[in-house]
Amino acid sequence: MAKDQYLLILTTFPDAEAARQIGTLLIELQIAACVNLLPPSQSIYRWKGAIENKTEVPVFIKTTANNYLEIETRIRESHPDEVPEIIAIPIERGSSDYLAWISDVTFD
């Protein structure tokens, strides 16, 4: 994939410390340009036949498409859930300066 294909990756972690650890790692590895940790939110979902309700920290990760697999691998390695939420949304438009910055600070 071309370097100029950008993604917004959405995930959640059970608490702010776990989210901060993965966010810091992704930035240190230069596979994400920016990681936003949002305030905790309530998630309600069905898992293995039961309705679950838990507090999670939403995380937004801005990166290039070339870094997706490495980011997915790192999230899976550090996440306590059997099936962590990992959703990638293509960024079709954005400030050209911001998108260029994503390319400049990520390594792929």
Alpha helices in the chain, H assignment, sequence order: 16-28, 68-78, 96-105
pTM attached to this predicted model: 0.94
**1 part of a folded domain:** no
Residue 35: CATH number of its domain: 3.30.70.120
Q: pLDDT for 23-35, tens place per residue?
A: 999 999 999 999 9
**40 part of a folded domain:** yes
Distance CA 93, CA 18 (A): 30
Number of domains the chain is built from: 1
Examine the pLDDT at 40 and tell me if it is beyond 80: yes
**39 part of a folded domain:** yes
Q: pLDDT for 64-105, tens place per residue?
A: 999 999 999 999 999 999 999 999 999 999 999 999 999 999
Alpha helices in 6-86, H assignment, sequence order: 16-28, 68-78
**Domain hosting residue 12, numbered range:** 6-105
Examine the pLDDT at 1 and tell me if it is beyond 70: no
